[in-house]
Amino acid sequence: MEDEYCVVYSVDDSFTSWVQAILAFIGLLSLYLKRHFERPKRTFMTWFLDTSKQGIGAVYAHVSNMAIAALIADVSWGDYELLDECAWYAISFLVDTSIGLIFSLLLLGILNGEAKKRGWKTLEHNGAYDGQELDRYKIWSHQVLAWIVILTIVRGLNLIFIWAFSPFLARAGDLLFGPIQEDIRFELLFVMIIFPGILNLFYFWIADHHLKADGSNPHSHEQPEENSSYLSAEDYDAHQIPSSFTSSLSFELPNIPLERVRTMV
């Protein structure tokens, strides 16, 4: 009887599909909680568009990481073989949420800079979906496409990195996941839920900070409540202060001749 190895997806086993659905729910729930603690607080529609952008990117990243895991399990080189796809998925996920995240944010910053130079209005400001409804979705679609392109480039870099270091990573994966490889379903649960669940919190929150609009964009955020102690930057603009109040504070210095000014030593 051949040894069984953990696989990240199987059409004959619905358990893998349920695991992936739970993983997506946990990641999106963390972004919902993040919205309630952020200041200034995004409008629900802006948050929804930001979250859907992350959600589409997360599904794409998840599927590509599964493909990388299955591919590396077959084409890894060296004198040590690791056929466990779940272990390779965990390795790919770890690389993606560390080195991959750094490269993604660097490429996003480069894209924003190029968009401002070349006048690409829809890509100049992340998470700013200003204008009418159709314009808003046009901006969103362009930003989603740009994020997918960035993730694609980063996935290629991740694949090269994992393949180049596959002899070392195979030994590390077998050492870390060897104790739980006897129970394939538990290993899948650990690799798909427990392990990425923690990493996703950091990945989604950090990526969301760069993909959303900053506090200077009033159209993307809710107006502060009257009884709220929080004041946004817009509340301090001069037009927010009554003109009668500003006029009472204005005054002119008396015109004193310089020869009448004395100094004290």
**CA distance linking residue 242 with residue 165, whole number of Å:** 65
Of the candidates 99, 95, 90, 101, the residue with the CA atom closest to the CA atom of residue 205: 101
For 224, left (φ over 0), alpha (ψ -120 to 50), or beta?
Answer: beta
User: Is position 101 within any domain?
Assistant: yes
User: Is position 168 within any domain?
Assistant: yes
User: Is position 229 within any domain?
Assistant: no
User: Is position 170 within any domain?
Assistant: yes
* pLDDT tens-place string over residues 22-72: 776 777 777 778 777 788 888 888 888 888 888 888 888 888 888 898 898
Angle at 63 between CA 62 and CA 69, to 5 degrees: 90
- The DSSP code sequence of 33-56 is HHHHH-SSPBPHHHHHHHHHHHHH
Of the candidates 71, 62, 56, the residue with the CA atom closest to the CA atom of residue 93: 62
**CA distance linking residue 202 with residue 195, whole number of Å:** 12
Which residue reads 């080195």 in tokens? 99
* pLDDT tens-place string over residues 141-157: 999 999 999 999 999 99
User: Is position 220 within any domain?
Assistant: no
Q: Which two tokens stand for residue 170?
A: 């195979």
User: Is position 230 within any domain?
Assistant: no
Q: Give the number of domains in the chain.
A: 1
Residue 257: pLDDT over 50: yes
- In this structure, are residues 75 and 163 in contact, taking their beta carbons and an 8 Å threshold? yes
User: Is position 26 within any domain?
Assistant: yes
Q: Which two tokens stand for residue 205?
A: 């929150």
Q: Which domain holds residue 35?
A: 14-213
- In this structure, are residues 110 and 153 in contact, taking their beta carbons and an 8 Å threshold? no
User: Is position 19 within any domain?
Assistant: yes
C-alpha distances in Å from residue 231, one per residue of 2, 47, 114, 143: 65, 20, 33, 29
* pLDDT tens-place string over residues 165-207: 999 999 998 888 888 878 888 888 888 777 877 787 788 888 8
**Global pTM?**
0.74
Residue 132 binned pLDDT confidence (cut-offs 50, 70, 90): low
For residue 42, the cross-strand partners are: 221
